[in-house]
Amino acid sequence: MLLLAVVVFNFILLSLVPGDIADTLAGESGGASQEVMDDIRRTYGLDRPFHIQLATYVGKVIQGDLGTSYYFNMPVTELILGRIAPTLLLVVTALVLAILIGTLFGVIASRRPNGLFSHFVTVLALVGFAAPVFWTAFLLIVLFVAMLEIMPLSGLVDPTTPRGTLTWYLDVLHHLFLPVLSLSSIYLASYSRLARASMMDVLGSDYIRTARAKGLGETAVTYKHALRNAVIPVITIAGLQFSHIFSGAVVVETVFTWPGLGTLAFESILRGDTPTIMGILFFSAMIVIVVNLLTDVTYRIVDPRIRSARNA
């Protein structure tokens, strides 16, 4: 039901955008007669009443048909499936990296709240929040590509590298480094600050004082008893922010010419390719819903109290 609402909302929203595929094609060809533009609209069903267009599109989506791309002249589903793997590789890698490193920084900083490393985490959070993703991406390009010349500028892999070999996978990681670093920077700052605050709160709890009173070492108290509860807010925010990091991938993919959904979305918007845009929005919504479900499952794994409460 939620996906159906997303489909209807996206269709209505995009229908309000001025212009259509006929205007786009006429602009690319330097102009066209009104008769030619009417033929284009008739070919794509744009001459029919709005409610008929909406009902037709929703009916096709229910059947698993997202339509045909105006520009690429191929099924939207096939087009998206060909681009979704690079985007998931970028987004999931950036998110996992941000969670792991951010949580680790937060835990270390919480053990000495007034220490030098804790102040470093605070500054990192401020810089991460203040720096736009595209600015970070351009800064990394200047540093690693223009000055040091140790990183590739764009693409997923060098086309001359034999596919499926170890060299190919290493080359993908080489190309992945800067986009992941750009995309994860702001979220790493967020999770480190959140983990620090959550860990400090948990370390002041009664059961932590009891564990220390029993003679447990500080490492065992921190990583065995406190971390499991302190990481729950991080998981919550990560699940909620997945849609944000997915949208941030559009900017990063465009800057680094990463061949994923972000680049496809940018190209489709410029070309007025409405079926492709709606298909990307549909797939994005579906992925976000799945991630939210996985977040709930992770809660039950991390916190046994949630399992006990639901079983009761």
Tens digit of pLDDT at every position of the chain (312 positions): 778 888 888 888 888 877 777 777 676 666 667 777 778 788 778 788 888 888 988 888 888 888 888 888 889 999 999 898 999 999 989 988 988 888 888 888 887 878 888 888 888 777 877 788 888 899 999 999 989 889 988 888 888 888 888 899 999 999 999 999 998 888 888 888 888 888 888 877 887 888 778 777 777 777 777 877 778 788 878 877 777 787 788 889 988 989 998 889 888 888 888 889 999 988 888 888 888 788 777 767 766 555 554 554
Q: Which long-range contacts (CB under 8 A, 24 or more apart) does 68-73 make?
A: 68/275, 69/268, 69/273, 69/275, 69/276, 70/21, 70/24, 70/44, 70/271, 70/272, 70/273, 70/274, 70/275, 70/276, 71/267, 71/268, 71/271, 71/273, 71/276, 72/273, 72/276
57 and 26, same domain (yes or no): yes
36 and 171 part of one domain: no
What is the domain extent for residue 44?
Answer: 2-62
CA-CA distances (angstroms) from residue 104 to 90, 91, 193, 223, 243? 21, 20, 11, 10, 23
Residue 256, class by beta-carbon neighbours within 10 Å (0-12 exposed, 13-18 middle, 19+ buried)? buried
pLDDT of residue 213: 82
Q: Same domain, yes or no, for 123 and 234?
A: yes
Question: Taking Cα atoms as reference points, which of 288, 264, 283 lies closest to residue 69?
Answer: 264
Q: For residues 131 and 251, what is the distance between their CA atoms, to the nearest angstrom?
A: 14
Same domain, 31 and 122: no
- Residues 90 and 20 occupy one common structural domain: no
What pLDDT does residue 310 have?
52
DSSP 162: P
Residue 70: inside a domain: no
Give SS3 for 91. Answer: helix
DSSP assignment letter at 150: -
Do 113 and 186 reside in the same domain of the chain? yes
Q: What is the pLDDT of residue 27?
A: 66
pLDDT of residue 89: 92
> Model pTM greater than 0.95?
no
* Domain presence at residue 7: yes
Does 68 map to a domain?
A: no
* CA end-to-end span of the chain: 29
Task: Report the pLDDT value the prediction gives residue 174, as an integer from 0 to 100.
Answer: 92
Same domain, 44 and 140: no
pLDDT of residue 32: 67
Q: Answer whether 173's CB lies under 8 Å from 97's CB.
A: no
Residue 86's pLDDT is what? 92
Same domain, 169 and 229: yes
Count of the separate structural domains present in the chain: 2
Give me the numbers of helices (H) and strands (E) for the chain, helices first please: 15, 0
69 part of a folded domain = no
CATH code, 141: 1.10.3720.10
In whole angstroms, give the CA distance from residue 178 to residue 151: 8
